[in-house]
Amino acid sequence: MKTRLHQLKKRERERSKAEMTKELSEEAAAHHHHGKDYEDPPPAPLLDFGELKLWSFYRALIAEFIATLLFLYVTVATVIGHKKLSTADHCDGVGILGIAWAFGGMIFILVYCTAGISGGHINPAVTFGLFLARKVSLIRAVAYIVAQSLGAICGVGLVKAFMRSFYNRLGGGANSVNTGYNNGTALGAEIIGTFVLVYTVFSATDPKRSARDSHVPVLAPLPIGFAVFMVHLATIPITGTGINPARSFGAAVIYNNGKVWDDHWIFWVGPMVGAAAAAAYHQYILRAAAIKALGSFRSSATN
């Protein structure tokens, strides 16, 4: 009786061991087949009308509107306050360094707050770059850009309401080509500056980086905010730093100056070109999307 019971237990252990070995081999085969330890999200559809029926879509629009409003209010108020103190010769205000910190710091804060709701774009150039990379649909991209632009107008409008006596006299925080620079230089500065920003956005939110560097507790909004900070240090003397068409548009609408409107095209064309270049560089060179697509095409043709 004992011998038979011992044999049954032995068979059960062997069966369990065989099943475990089979599961491990299947997992190893699956890992070898996929060849990566992360999953890319599926590309967003070009037109996703189903989004229009979701409350989460409108919640994201509200988040983008409020975030851009707050961004423009704090940053443009900082610019006006700096110019006011500089005019009065009171310690020269916060200086270029302080203005750059205001822009970079607000992006860090607002991206952190809204990333889980809308993705924390707060910038039509970022939205455009993510659309080109198929991260968002066309409907969501257009809606985001409208919400960001309206939020920017309202944010700068608050600055004018609170600082009315200084706002128009001190330039309204609007972007234009500064004296000593031409349109070509300004356009190049905006393209390169936006490239740095959007390239940082793609790198900081890359699922491959999240999987491989999961042991490094790096907050994605932090490098994005630092990118904005560094670009402002470089381009404030040239254009006042746009790299965000909503920021430039909101200030242009409220300030409504002829010189600002003459130069305004630079602050849409430059950021959009820079965003497109960053999206192409990250997706097709760093992530080798073109090579992968070509390999997949050749594989299907052979089969």
What is the CATH classification number for the domain harbouring 200?
A: 1.20.1080.10
* In-domain check, residue 299: no
What domain count does the chain have? Answer: 1
C-alpha to C-alpha distance for 285 and 288, rounded to whole angstroms: 5
* In-domain check, residue 29: no
The rounded average pLDDT for each run of 10 residues, N- to C-terminus, in the chain (303 residues) is 59 62 50 54 78 91 97 96 77 83 96 92 96 93 97 97 90 93 96 97 80 59 95 95 96 93 96 96 79 50 49
* In-domain check, residue 242: yes
Tell me what pLDDT residue 212 has. Answer: 56
Tell me what pLDDT residue 108 has. Answer: 96
Q: Which two tokens stand for residue 43?
A: 């590309």
What HEC string does 101-163 produce?
HHHHHHHHHHHHHHCCCCCCCCCHHHHHHHHHCCCCCHHHHHHHHHHHHHHHHHHHHHHHHHC
pLDDT digits (tens, 9 = 90+) for 92-118: 678 899 999 999 999 999 999 999 999
Tell me what pLDDT residue 42 has. Answer: 73
Structural domain harbouring 171: 49-284
Q: What is the pTM of this model?
A: 0.81
* In-domain check, residue 33: no
